[in-house]
């Protein structure tokens, strides 16, 4: 059963040479279902051997293309972090994807057209496929590079921000501790900063002077507190520092590593401001690029599906390549009924639909192979065998 989360692109031989007659017939049989025409260009098929080779390699290419489109769409989703805005950005030629697949879908008169200006007409199938793959590879490389750049800066910014908002046992203390809180320029003594769990404050007060020798009496001072910890100071002789840290840890007191730096707070604030500015700039650049790349990649995927229609049709029905295509937007509530109606419409092709390119899976359906694709795109690469040629183009769910 093809997915109701995708458009069904169908090809069948023409009976009377007029694609519009087949389109109207299907529309009449599927009232309430959006149906459009799908142009299949005249391409040079090549030898049977070359077509069989293409039929074997196209599913993997289809999977790769679909993955690129899916990842680009996921990038847009992640950047927006607001599902309500997705429809404004996940567009094809600056219009909803459905209007690209089925132009004027609301009026039911849509007809998808092969882009002759870009991919030509009458060319060899293999040459067109190479051009499509080259363009998609370039898009994928661009996306990976820009996404990597953005994620690197975002990660650095997140790490810096996390240091400012964690609890007192983890966060940066440069904006908590003042220079006067510490013993300065002493050859023998130093001030330690200790994060004491709130439920152990009495233990700290009773124990800290006796955790080791050479602890300055009554030297503890509370500097700050949060929901979990209280930050205390204690002054010890440097020679017992390591022993004090060890004893404190045994009592669940956390001694923080800290060295005073006059410029630390200013540097931290400057680094955060610079990274925030870079992150904002890269976010805008990546969103713009992803919008462009999604539009391009979705169009390339649609043209690849058209090549698959052509190759499979020639293998099943032979030459001349007098085929017509239609595209159906199945309604999830009536998808099974729609498929049965289509199967009944094209059951006269049963004797001709014996293409060598289709490989039956264990359940009797043909398998397209390739990488796994998640989310709403899962299962798109699975292909079942019907008397007519059918491939799926994922819907863009917004």
Q: What is the pLDDT of residues 26-36, one digit of tens each?
A: 999 999 999 99
Q: Is the domain of 117 the same as that of 247? A: no
Give the structural domain span for 299. 6-156+277-394
Tell me, yes or no, whether 268 lies in a domain: no
CATH of the domain at 191: 3.30.70.100
Tell me, yes or no, whether 296 lies in a domain: yes
Please tell me the pTM assigned to this model: 0.77
Residue 362, pLDDT above cutoff 50? no
Tell me, yes or no, whether 335 lies in a domain: yes
- DSSP line for 31-53: TTSEEEEE-----B---HHHHHH
CATH of the domain at 28: 1.20.1460.10
User: pLDDT value at position 266?
Assistant: 77
Kindly indicate the confidence band of residue 363, based on its pLDDT and cuts at 50, 70 and 90: very low
Give the residues across from 279 on adjacent strands: none
Q: Is the domain of 248 the same as that of 334? A: no
Among 297, 378, 376, 353, which residue's Cα sits nearest to residue 368? 378
Helices (H) and strands (E) in the chain, counts: 10, 11
User: pLDDT value at position 382?
Assistant: 46
From residue 105, how far is each of 33, 99, 328, 381 by CA, in Å? Answer: 10, 6, 11, 25
Omega within 30 of 0 (cis) for the link into 320: yes
Q: Which pLDDT tens digit goes with each residue over 189-239? A: 999 999 999 999 999 999 999 999 999 999 999 999 999 999 999 999 999
| Structural domains counted in the chain | 2
Tell me, yes or no, whether 10 lies in a domain: yes
Given a contact cutoff of 8 angstroms between Cβ atoms, the answer to whether 325 and 11 are in contact is yes
For the segment 353-359, the average pLDDT, to the nearest whole number, is: 46
**How many CB atoms are located within 10 Å of the residue 101 CB?**
23
Q: Is the domain of 242 the same as that of 127? A: no
Q: Is the domain of 124 the same as that of 193? A: no
Q: Is the domain of 247 the same as that of 132? A: no
Tell me, yes or no, whether 38 lies in a domain: yes
Q: Is the domain of 146 the same as that of 293? A: yes
Q: Is the domain of 147 the same as that of 241? A: no
Q: Is the domain of 15 the same as that of 150? A: yes
Backbone angles phi, psi at 189, to 5 degrees: -120, 155
Q: Is the domain of 248 the same as that of 124? A: no
User: pLDDT value at position 369?
Assistant: 41
CA distance 105 to 77: 25
Tell me, yes or no, whether 171 lies in a domain: no
DSSP code at position 194: E
Give the residues across from 95 on adjacent strands: 92
For the segment 155-170, the average pLDDT, to the nearest whole number, is: 85
Tell me, yes or no, whether 235 lies in a domain: yes
Q: Is the domain of 11 the same as that of 139? A: yes
Q: Is the domain of 144 the same as that of 190? A: no
Q: Is the domain of 150 the same as that of 205? A: no
Tell me, yes or no, whether 241 lies in a domain: yes
User: pLDDT value at position 384?
Assistant: 66
Residue 373, pLDDT above cutoff 60? no
Domain final position from 260, 293, 308 = 260
Q: Which pLDDT tens digit goes with each residue over 232-256? A: 999 999 999 999 999 999 999 999 9
Instruction: Please give the structure tokens belonging to residue 110.
Output: 């849509």
Q: Which pLDDT tens digit goes with each residue over 96-143? A: 999 999 987 544 457 899 999 999 988 999 999 999 999 999 999 999
Residue 347, pLDDT above cutoff 70? yes
């Amino acid at each position: 059963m093809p997915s109701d989360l995708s458009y069904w692109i169908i090809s069948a031989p023409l009976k009377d040479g007029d694609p519009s007659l087949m389109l109207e017939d299907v529309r009449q049989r599927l009232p309430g279902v959006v149906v459009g025409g799908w142009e299949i260009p005249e391409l040079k098929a090549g030898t049977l051997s070359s077509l069989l080779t293409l039929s074997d390699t196209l599913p993997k290419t289809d999977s790769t293309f679909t993955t690129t489109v899916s990842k680009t769409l996921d990038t847009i989703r992640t950047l927006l972090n607001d599902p309500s805005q997705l429809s404004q950005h996940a567009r094809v030629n600056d219009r909803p994807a459905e209007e690209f697949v089925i132009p004027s879908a609301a009026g039911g008169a849509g007809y998808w057209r092969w882009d002759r200006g870009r991919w030509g007409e009458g060319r060899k199938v293999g040459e067109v496929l190479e051009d499509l793959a080259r363009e998609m590879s370039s898009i994928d490389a661009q996306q990976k590079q820009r996404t990597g750049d953005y994620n690197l800066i975002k990660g650095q910014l997140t790490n810096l921000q996390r240091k400012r908002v964690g609890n007192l046992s983890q966060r940066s203390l440069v904006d908590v501790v003042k220079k006067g809180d510490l013993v300065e320029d002493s050859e023998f003594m130093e001030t330690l900063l200790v994060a004491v769990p709130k439920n152990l404050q009495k233990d700290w007060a009773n124990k800290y002077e006796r955790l080791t020798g050479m602890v300055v009496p009554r030297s503890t001072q509370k500097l700050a507190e949060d929901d979990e910890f209280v930050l205390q100071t204690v002054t010890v002789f440097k020679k017992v520092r390591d022993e004090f840290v060890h004893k404190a840890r045994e009592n669940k007191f956390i001694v923080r590593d800290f060295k005073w730096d006059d410029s630390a707070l200013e540097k931290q604030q400057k680094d955060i401001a610079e990274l925030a500015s870079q992150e904002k700039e890269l976010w805008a650049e990546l969103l713009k690029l992803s919008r462009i790349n999604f539009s391009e990649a979705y169009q390339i995927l649609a043209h690849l599906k058209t090549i698959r229609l052509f190759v499979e049709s020639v293998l099943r029905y032979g030459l001349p390549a007098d085929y017509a295509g239609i595209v159906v937007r199945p309604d999830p509530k009536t998808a099974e009924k729609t498929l049965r109606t289509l199967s009944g419409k094209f059951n006269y092709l049963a004797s001709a639909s014996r293409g060598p390119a289709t490989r039956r899976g264990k359940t009797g359906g043909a398998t397209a192979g390739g990488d796994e694709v998640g989310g709403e795109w899962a299962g798109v690469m699975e292909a079942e065998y019907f008397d007519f040629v059918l491939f799926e183009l994922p819907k863009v769910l917004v």
